[in-house]
Chain A
Amino acid sequence: MNTMTKQPILVVGAGITGVSAALEAAETGCDVILVEREPAIGGRVLRNHNYFPKLCPPACGMEINTRRLERNSRVRVLTNTRVTEANAGADGWSVKLASAPAYVNDRCTGCGECAKVCPAKVPDPHNLGMNETTAIRSPHVDAWPTTYTLDRSACPADCKACVEACKYEAIDLNASAKDETVSASSVVVATGWHPYPLEKLTELGGGELKNVIANVNMERMVAPTGPTEGKILKPSNGEPPKKVAFVQCAGSRDVNHLPYCSAVCCLASLKQAIYVREQLPEAEVTIYYIDRRAPGRNEDVLTRVAEMDGVKLVKGKVGKIEQGQGDGLKLRLEDVEAGQIVETEADMVVLATGMVSNLVNGDLPMNLTKDEDNFGLDSLEQKVIVAGVARRPEDVAACVRDATGAAAKSVIAARRA
């Protein structure tokens, strides 16, 4: 009955995939070390407002996962930590973990007094830099661990405002980084993704035209804790848009950008069309697509949105977006079904940008085999399993299925002689 492994399983990345893999392995009886480079777990999914198809909040599942983490002594969670060295051995891996200095430590009670007095501002990474927050802060409303985080490089010289405000000695501005070497029987790589940069889509106005945003930006805007407190507003003037255009495959399925399909953007845009219509019942929404990829039972989302008032689906990839009248936008495309070139206006464009594997950065020091798109590949012999979007673009439910399977494979790999 012993499925435990000699050494813990190391899970790199604590997004939904890493957290799920860690928990499934731990609840089966394994010791797990879960490593995350951000100050809190949750990764990309906690930057979503809702999931498709049920339009349910990511925090709902994450609450249960957080509880499971709290109550399971087999999982050791290290945030603000990266893998700096990894050496494969006969029995598994020897991995060096570097934890950033714990300027704010476990004594933090989350009272928030430090943030009240902090004079420094930084772009809020949880809100994708769309607004600013204080240098010392709770990472975000659902953050776990609940410990506050500090962007030390943003501190003005000699400033000690937070230290003085903290009653619990939870802040040490001179804290130093910590290194630790751990042994792991196998490794699950769940390093996730980042959005394809908008600035690379100049032909669509990305990075140049103010009211051209990415789907991840729209998602943040609609979230109540987002940069606009949940309101969909045009970046140019802070007014709600009247005509919103979604441009699918913006940078995906494109040899000039990402040659693969990012799998989730069709459904993400359909979901966001629902957001727009619910919040702005007068707004017109048009989704410009190549194929409508709503596979499986998610077809229901497509059916629902296609029948909504005020929403149109048009086949035809938008080829060009330029400044239009005022701060409006001019889109040029061929409406394939009508066989006409269309030049149309919108006052906000959402580019459905794709997902790029974080392995592209090459800063995970493991000799991972990657495919041409920088997605990682399993190696049972090397005792490394890749899961989630680090492995392939896929939606949340698929990531969790994948993570569960990865937990199994990591144990299987660990048990191999």
Chain B
Amino acid sequence: MDKVGVFVCTGCEIKDAVKIDELEEAANEQNAAAFVTHECLCEPGGIAQIQKSIDDDGIDGVVIAACSHRMKQKEFTFDPTKVVVERVCLREQVAWSKKPDDEDTQMLAVDLLQMGLARIGKVKLSEPIKEEISDTVLVVGGGLTGLTAAKAAVDLGHPAVIIEKEDQLGGYLNDCKDVIPEHPPYDTVAANPIGQLIKDVQANEQIKVFTGARIIATKGQPGQFDVELQNGGAAQSVKVGAIVQATGARPYDASKLTHLGYGMSPNVITSHDLEKMITAGELICPGNGQIPNRIVFIQCAGSRDENHLKYCSSECCGTTLKQVASINRDFSDIECAVIYKDMRTPGQLEHFYQGVQESTHGMLTRGEVDKVEAHNNGAHVHLKDSLLGEDVTIETDLVVLAVGMVPNSADGHAIRELNDAKLRIIKNESETQVADATKLVESLKHHEGTEILNLDYRQGPDLPILKYDFPDSHYICFPYETRRTGIYAAGALHAPMDTPQAIEDAYGAVMKAVQCIESNARGEAVHPRAGDQSIADFFLQRCTQCKRCTEECPFGTLNEDAKGTPEYNTLRCRRCGICLGACPERIISFPEYTVDAVASMIKAFEVPEEEDEKPRIMAFLCENDALPALDEAAAKRIQWNPWIRIVPVRCLGAVNTVWIADSLSRGIDGIVLVGCKRGDDYQCHYIQGSELANTRMGNVQETLERLTLESERVKIVELARDEFHRVPQVLDEFAETIDECGPNPYKGF
């Protein structure tokens, strides 16, 4: 920015903590075009003053030295097309958390102002992008979820395309007679909505349906997906703006359930087999064609089981109750008994459980099924532990295994690894490489041909899997945020769920899809930096094709050309800056967040000489958790060490290691990175930012060794958003460690 004005608030104890005139000196040294103080900058009078400066003096860079950037955001918003605002935190980081009227405190305040001025000099206004955006929503999968989603898309004003691999629409519900209720009083089964839903979709002119179709390729990016599909012989292509993947789930392979008798008798069937018979109106034992007198349902068949599916499929308890009710209604002479581990009918489904028990005079027991054996024309189900006693056997004509569901997903990462390994074998560059690649191919072979979306993404052709093959979001608060922008999972593909939940999920996923299209049309990013209009800039002339950015981007934003040079797809980008942190050549930048800007901050303040015994510490704090937590600690007037200069970053993954080098070469004594937890229960809003930072800091340790610097000088600490009492502790402890290390020997070089 060209004309920078500094506006200092003296309220909130700032003027008691620091000498304002020294701040003015620092501002003048940096050629600030204006220096204004106000005793309450956020009140209308203060804002008016700033606005006046902007209007009268043509200020385009406003440095507000006051409270945390998280406070008074609306007040300190000026025309974003003309003005960049830089917040220097004199309140939380100085006035509230340091000794007032103290030399260290004063030096800190001055340094922070200089850092702010340095940064604002290096940032630019964003130019919002204007791209051609398709307003069509692609729905992959034409079952209950997909059909609901397509209809909702149209109701939201967006045309939809459905691609269904079978020859007819309807999916799993085509085989069903009744469904679990979603309306009160919840105590009986509900009518299957799929027939009407199919009709509605087929009659809707805004929905284009391709059945018997598969996607050959999905090229491009959200807003500009070019989808090539094949149905029948012909290849077609559609342009879509966002994708809802609703490919559903399939029943677990019962042939693996030999311990439950599947395969040893034709009278041991799955709940899916049973459903088809109920729908057909003819319920007989497959073994002998007779109508059964009794059916025993075995719940959790192959679910909640270490040797099969570890998770619970959520709907089988409800489905079995539904089937018991349907049978009671349509085949009233058949007695149904249910063996469960737990009856999972949460929420209002409890009324369904109760209603079915009552209307069908249900027979249910908890029990561990030990063995299922053929007996006469039926089976003996042996329970080793049950509410009916230890060691009991139940005689029955038909056994129904309530099997769980397996999502129809494709493991994008695994397929990519498989393909890359195959390429390495072809390339044949070294024997060991080929040997390793061959082993990898062997272990990943089962992913062959499983592609669904066939994304033309360097990181893989499908959504990355989260856990147990579900491409879910990792976030409780943001359940639709899959790792591919503009592609949302819905229904049983998304998570184990029943039909009422799938209908709800369809609406949610479609809303996100439409939101993505609308955001792109406005030139804005989506979650978590919703509204961000900036895009990354790649200075490719200096790219060395190291491929770190391509690999480390959590969202697969970057493709690769033949040489390995990254191709940036703006509309896939979430603006996290992890690529910026990865690039060893520092060629990536965002208008308001560049390597140079932060490097300038590091170089902006004076590093005292060794004799002054005033160490200097850089603290890179993630703006999503560590910094807010620190704000909270400051609000409670918790104090921490004044040697620490804080730089807020978008994500620890957006920390470039050159900043470590710059800090150390300046004589700064220590660098600490504070951010979110990594690991299986990661809290990083960009998936792997803190994980990457941790790895990179590991590499930094090697550099430290070479420079004969103590490894303790660079540290990464993880904490959670609510651990406000820990952040000051972490900073103080680090300051102590640095003190013990002694001054950086490179000071004064």
A and B touch in the complex (CB under 8 A): yes
Of B478, B512, B681, which one neighbours A61 at CB under 8 angstroms? B478
Whether B11 lies near A291 (C-beta < 8 A) is: no
Q: Would you call B480 an interface residue if the criterion is a C-beta within 8 Å of the partner chain's C-beta atoms?
A: yes
Interface string of B84-112 (1 = CB under 8 A from A): 00000000000000000000000000000
**Contact segment of A24-32, A83-91, A155-163:** A24-32
Interface residue B310 (Cβ < 8 Å from any Cβ of A): yes
Q: A64-B528, A224-B722 are in contact. Are A295 and B349 (CB under 8 A)?
A: no
Chain B residue contacts of A65, Cβ below 8 A: 477
Cα-based distance from A57 to B632 in the complex (angstroms): 15
Are A405 and B511 within 8 A (Cβ)? Answer: yes
**Which residues of the partner chain A approach B720 to less than 8 Å between Cβ atoms?**
56-57, 60
Give the shortest distance, in Å, between A412 (CB) and chain B (any CB). 4
Interface pair A373/B348, CB less than 8 Å apart: yes
B683:A375 contact, CB within 8 angstroms: no
Residue contact B347 to A263, C-beta cutoff 8 Å: yes
Say whether B706 faces chain A, with CB atoms less than 8 Å apart.
no
Question: Does B437 reach chain A (CB closer than 8 Å)?
Answer: no
B458-497 residues at the A interface, CB under 8 angstroms: 467-468, 470, 474-480, 495-497
CB proximity of A73 to chain B, nearest CB, Å: 9
From A107, A259, A372, give the contact of B350 (CB < 8 A): A259
Distance to closest chain A CB from B410 (angstroms):
19
Q: Mark A375-417, 1 if CB is under 8 A from B, else 0.
A: 1010000000000000011101110111111111101100100
Given A59-B721, A401-B504, CB of A372 within 8 Å of CB of B311: no
Contacts of B349 in A (CB 8 A): 261
Residues of A within 8 A of B676 (CB): 60
Whether the pair B635, A112 counts as a contact (CB closer than 8 A) is yes
Q: Is the CB of B685 within 8 A of A401?
A: no
- Chain B residues positioned under 8 Å from A28 (CB to CB): 511, 514-515, 518-519
Is the beta-carbon distance between B683 and A109 smaller than 8 angstroms?
no
Question: CA separation between A209 and B716, bound complex, in Å?
Answer: 47
Chain A residues whose CB sits within 8 angstroms of the CB of B72 once the complex forms:
109
Which of A94-102, A237-245, A296-304, A360-368 interfaces with chain B? A296-304
As a 0/1 sequence over residues 150 to 194 of chain A, the CB contacts with chain B under 8 angstroms (1 = contact) are 000000000000000001110000000000000000000000000
- A400–B468 touching, CB < 8 Å: no
User: A63 to B314, Cβ gap below 8 A?
Assistant: no
Verify A372–B496 contact, CB threshold 8 A: no
Given contacts A27-B530, A68-B531, A405-B505, is CB(A396)–CB(B476) below 8 Å?
Answer: yes
CB-CB under 8 A from A167, the residues of chain B are 11, 39-40
The residue that B504 contacts in the complex, of A29, A393, A402, with Cβ under 8 A, is A402
By a CB distance below 8 angstroms, the chain A residues around B517 are 1
Q: Is the CB of A110 within 8 A of B635?
A: yes
Given A142-B632, A259-B350, A408-B511, A401-B477 contact (CB < 8 Å): no
Q: Within the assembled complex, what's the spacing in Å between the Cα atoms of A142 and B628?
A: 9
User: Assuming the A-B contacts A64-B528, A300-B311, are A408 and B152 also in contact, with contact meaning beta carbons closer than 8 angstroms in the complex?
Assistant: yes
- Residue among B70, B344, B506, B683 with the highest chain A CB neighbour number at 10 A: B344
Contact flags A121-137 to B (C-beta < 8 A → 1, else 0): 00000000000000000
Give the chain B neighbours of A61 by CB distance below 8 A: 475-478
Asked whether A236 is an interface residue with its Cβ less than 8 Å from the other chain, the reply is: no
Cα–Cα distance between A64 and B528 once the two chains are bound (Å): 7
A2 smallest CB distance to B (angstroms): 6
| Cβ B685 vs Cβ A299 within 8 A | no
When chains A and B are docked, how far (Å) is the Cα of A40 from the Cα of B526?
A: 25
Question: How far is the CB of A141 from the nearest CB of chain B, in Å?
Answer: 5
Min distance, Cβ B677 to any Cβ of chain A, angstroms: 8
Determine whether A371 belongs to the interface, using a CB cutoff of 8 Å to chain B: yes
Contacts of B347 in A (CB 8 A): 260-263, 392-394
Given A60-B722, A393-B346, A407-B511, A297 and B496 touching (CB < 8 A)? yes
Task: Determine whether B253 belongs to the interface, using a CB cutoff of 8 Å to chain A.
Answer: no
Whether a CB of chain A sits under 8 angstroms from the CB of B312 is: yes
Chain A residues within an 8 Å CB radius of B445? none
Distance in Å from the Cβ of B75 to the closest Cβ of chain A? 8
Q: Are A56 and B480 also in contact (CB < 8 A) when A291-B344, A293-B346, A405-B504 are?
A: no
507-543 of chain B: CB within 8 A of chain A: 507-512, 514-515, 517-519, 521-522, 526-528, 530-531
Q: What A residues does B184 contact at CB under 8 A?
A: 371-372, 377
Nearest to A144 among chain B residues (CB) is B70
Cβ contact within 8 Å between A56 and B683? yes
A168-B43, A405-B511 known; A260+B351 contact, CB < 8 A: yes
> Would A297 and B508 be within 8 Å (CB), given that A57-B721, A168-B43, A253-B350 are in contact?
no
Give Cα distance in the complex from A204 to B567, angstroms: 65
Does A34 interact with chain B (Cβ within 8 Å)? Answer: no
Is B428 part of the binding interface, using a Cβ–Cβ cutoff of 8 Å? no
A71 to B387, CA, bound (A): 57
Q: Which of A29, A295, A402, A412 lies in contact with B152, CB distance below 8 A? A: A412
A53 to B11, CA, bound (A): 43
A49 partner residues in chain B, CB cutoff 8 A: 722
Distance A3 CA – B517 CA, assembled complex (angstroms):
11
Q: Which residue of B lies closest to A60 (CB)?
A: B721
A292 close to B342 (CB less than 8 A): yes
A residues within 8 A CB of B521? 1
Q: Is B135 within 8 A of A71, CB to CB? A: no
Cβ B470 vs Cβ A400 within 8 A: no
Q: Is the CB of A405 within 8 A of B530?
A: no
Could you jot down 25 A-B contacts, CB within 8 Å? A28-B511, A58-B477, A59-B721, A60-B720, A64-B478, A65-B477, A70-B73, A71-B530, A72-B531, A107-B40, A107-B43, A109-B40, A110-B71, A224-B725, A292-B342, A293-B342, A296-B314, A298-B312, A373-B348, A400-B477, A401-B479, A404-B508, A406-B507, A408-B152, A412-B155
Smallest CB-CB A-B distances: 5 pairs: A61-B477, A405-B507, A371-B184, A57-B722, A404-B508
9 further interface pairs, Cβ-Cβ under 8 Å (given A57-B723, A408-B511): A1-B157, A54-B683, A61-B476, A110-B67, A111-B11, A261-B348, A263-B347, A291-B343, A402-B504
Give me the interface of B with A, judged by CB distance under 8 Å.
11-13, 39-40, 42-43, 67, 70-74, 133, 135, 152, 155-158, 183-186, 304, 310-314, 342-351, 354, 366, 385, 387, 467-468, 470, 474-480, 495-497, 501, 504-512, 514-515, 517-519, 521-522, 526-528, 530-531, 624-625, 628, 632, 635-636, 676-677, 681, 683, 685, 720-725
